[in-house]
Amino acid sequence: MTFLAISLRTLLGVVFAVALGGKVRSRRSFADFAASLHELRWLPGPARAAAPVAVVAVEAASIVLLAVPATVPWGFGLTFLTLAVFTASVGWSLRRGETVRCRCFGTDSGPMGGWELARNGVLLVAAGAGLLASATGPASGAAAGSAVAAVAGALAAALIVRWDDLRFVFSSPTAGR
């Protein structure tokens, strides 16, 4: 596995771990997350009811697959598919004029829009690149290089998790007035 794959594996593993932790940290957090999925009107009733548990299960599976060296390509693949479904779901809902609240990390970050679609796009590219990078074989074996790659992935994950704060910093102070 290349150092790039290690970095992307860490990035996606941390992002999914924070997202999962935010959703399951309390009954209230999970209930709020489940309620936010009810805004996806295009999902039929039974699928809408099962979606919160399915999302949590897929996020947990992705974390495990990314953590176990032998299953890393599967982890990148599942993560890519999961992000594609998330992005398509939000995009479809926004296109229909529906408001979808972002509870991606367990707290209400407000209505989703272009910034969240961009964040998911970044994560999709990371998952796709990770899948390709993990297929290239083992890294050189340098422990220091692997550690640096992991730290870089963790720092990138922090930026992704705090995406809404970055949006605030780079938004016009008069936006929404």
53 assigned to some structural domain: yes
Q: What is the pLDDT of residues 17-28, one digit of tens each?
A: 999 999 899 999
134 assigned to some structural domain: yes
Q: Which pTM value belongs to this model?
A: 0.84
The DSSP bridge partners found for residue 101 are 111
Spatial CA neighbour of 70 closest among 148, 151, 17, 134: 134
159 assigned to some structural domain: yes
Number of alpha carbons in the 13 Å side-chain half-sphere of residue 24: 14
Could you give the number of structural domains in the chain? Answer: 1
- For residue 143, the enclosing domain spans 3-165
Q: What is the pLDDT of residues 84-137, one digit of tens each?
A: 998 888 888 888 887 777 777 767 777 777 888 888 999 999 999 999 988 876
Tokens of 164: 């809404």
Q: Which pLDDT score is estimated for 83? A: 94
Tokens of 23: 């959703």
Number of alpha carbons in the 13 Å side-chain half-sphere of residue 176: 6
Q: Which pLDDT score is estimated for 78? A: 97
176 assigned to some structural domain: no
Q: Is the pLDDT of residue 144 over 90?
A: no
Q: What is the pLDDT of residues 16-62, one digit of tens each?
A: 999 999 989 999 988 888 888 777 766 777 877 888 899 999 999 99
Q: Which pLDDT score is estimated for 84? A: 95
